[in-house]
Structure 1
Amino acid sequence: GAGTYYLSGLRPDLAVGLGIDDQVVEAHAWRPTLNGAEALATYRYEFAPRREGWRTYCNLPPAHAASSDPAISVNRYGKGRAMLVACALTTEQLRARRYHEHDIREYPTQLAANLARFMLREPLLRGTTPAGVEVVANRQGGRWIVHLLNHYAGGLYLDSREGLLKLADVCVSLNANRVGELGRAFEVAGGESRPLPVRRDGKWLEVTVPRLTVHGLIVWDR
């Protein structure tokens, strides 16, 4: 049900960037059973139960010990895995005001990113692009087509004058374990193509786009 909960016992690789305190969840939550799944985090409840209509405007401190109730768990089936997050990661306030979907804290966003990395053992992309740049990668035969969409610069759709917000030196990384050895890359713009030097950083193939306005197109080839 709705309430205040604390996420406790996160594995070290899931707690990267989250600070030292348990994560607060103010939202609806469920208590699943594991049935063979592995618990990645458990609930730590408030130190005392709430009474109806009492102290609804503040969070009570967490209990001294965490519970055994799983909040985040992962199950395996064949070669696949499925994760269950039994509570909202964003913060739904209980303080008699409406919840705004964009009013989230940075820690829930970081936790969601950590969970995604945990599930993707060999991610196709590395997060070297800014948060406001959408990356879409499509395989086409033996090459890869990568689109970059700049969500920071919506005004450029209406006005392409110089001096408006643009991004410079945008680094794009592909996992060589997923795409194979791609030794050439080209940026395509205005019907022309310009070669981009390909760098190697471990298993990652990297190129840098000198300038990104609204849309960028990169062709990776062997």
Structure 2
Amino acid sequence: MYRQFIHHRGRNTDQGEFAHPGVPVYYTYGTPGKILVHNHLDTILYGAVSDLTGWNLNSRGPIEPGQQQLWRRSADERIHISTPMNHAGEQSAQVYNARVGMVLHIQNLEGQERWQGVKFVPVDEAKYTENLTKRGYGSIGIKNDVGFDIFVSVLSTEGAGFIDTRQLLVKPNTTSYWNRWCPESVFVAVGSAPGLAQAYVGRPGFILHIEDWRPHGGH
């Protein structure tokens, strides 16, 4: 049986399989300069840690059942944890505090938001700014205002052919452009989420700002 050691008043204490039964997540002391996540579940998780230093170190990584994943950081960050999409089209995700020198233990998903199918954000609920660059009209801009990588695909009414409809990675605080001449569907996956995306309307001549659209865990 897996046994977890936690620090208690300066000493290690053997607490058995779950050090804190009944809570979704908890923290224990880890390694200086590292953020670690321990997956206590029997399903794979995906994690992505933000990077406030601007070094673009926020790539996502799988966390196998019973295993740990680490990210090197010099300061506390946020971590986006998600499950893969299941056969019913369901997925869950949550953002937690990622503390340097600590291990985040995830032992159930009760605190995570669950959803099914692709969520659509209406135009009047999304944020757009006019594209004043030389690209101007004839291109759809997507700006990443989230602390994590996002993965974007823009459909094309004119069909595939020479039009780029691939899924592209957009780093935080950067903007990417797609040449389109009419409004198109935009699909965005945020942070670690490897399955379900969120849908927006991409408008030529405007930049669509992708902001936090998952709730934050209060941990």
Structure with greater proportional strand content? 2
- Fold similarity call, TM over 0.5: no
Higher relative contact order by CA 8 Å / sep ≥ 6: 1 or 2?
2
Task: Identify the TM-score tier after normalising by the shorter chain.
Answer: under 0.3
Larger Rg: 1
Structure with greater proportional helix content? 1
TM (norm. structure 2) is 0.25
TM (norm. structure 1) is 0.25
